[in-house]
Amino acid sequence: MNKILFIALALAASGASAASYVTSNASTKTATIMVDASQGTAGGGLNFNGVVKGAKSFTIPAGWNVVMQYKNLGMLAHSAIVVKGSTPPVSVAEKDAAFPGAYSKMVMQGMPMNAAATAKFKAATAGSYLIVCGVPGHALGGQYLGLKVVAGAKAATYQ
C-alpha cells in the first residue's frame, strides 16, 4: 500500500486529535505509543495523556512490536507498566508486567518530573490490558489507560 495513503488511513482510524500519541508502521509491525504521565490537571495529576480511568485506549495488532515512550510531566513521581486485565491493580511491580519489558523504569518508586524512559516489548497475546502507574495508590486513583491487543487488526490506534 502507498505509504502516505496508509498513514492517512491510520490517522483517520485513530482520530486526528489523538494521532500524535501513536505511530503505526505496518511494514515493520511496530507501534510507537506515547504515554505522558500527569499531562494537565485531570485526576489531580493522576492521569496519562490527560485522561483518567481508561477513558482512552491503544489498540495494537497482536504480534506487533511496541515502543512505549513514557515521560513524566508532573511534579509527583510516576511510572508506567502494562498489566493484564481490565481492573487496575492494588499494587504492581516489574514482575507483574503482561509482556517482558513492558514497563518504564522505577515502577513502584516512580520516576521524577521530566524523566523519560522507552520500553520495548512484543504484544504477543491478544487480550485486554491496562497501562497503569505503579506508584502505590495511583492506579486505584484512576491513573491508567486501556491497551487492547487484537488479532487481525491492521493498524495501531488510540482513541
139 binds Cu ion (CB under 5 A): no
Backbone angle region of 49, left / alpha / beta, with phi > 0 → left and psi within -120 to 50 → alpha = left
Q: Which stretch binds Cu ion (CB under 5 A): 21-29, 93-101, 118-126, 135-143?
A: 135-143
Check: CB of residue 156 under 8 Å from CB of residue 103.
no
10 binds Cu ion (CB under 5 A): no
By CB under 5 A, the residues from 28 to 87 that bind Cu ion are 78
138 binds Cu ion (CB under 5 A): yes
CB nearer Cu ion, residue 71 or residue 78: 78
Exactly one of 10, 13, 42, 135 binds Cu ion (CB under 5 A); which one?
135
- Tell me the β-bridge partners of 25: 30
**Contact characters 114-133, Cu ion, x per CB under 5 A:** -------------------x
Minimal distance, residue 145 CB to Cu ion, in Å: 12
C-alpha angle 109-111-115 in degrees, rounded to nearest 5: 170
Nearest Cα neighbor of 100 from 71, 69, 65 is 65
Instruction: Name residues whose C-beta falls within 8 Å of residue 129's C-beta, 6 or more positions apart in sequence.
Output: 82, 83, 84, 85, 98, 146, 147, 148, 149
Binding site for Cu ion (CB under 5 A): 78, 133, 135, 138, 143
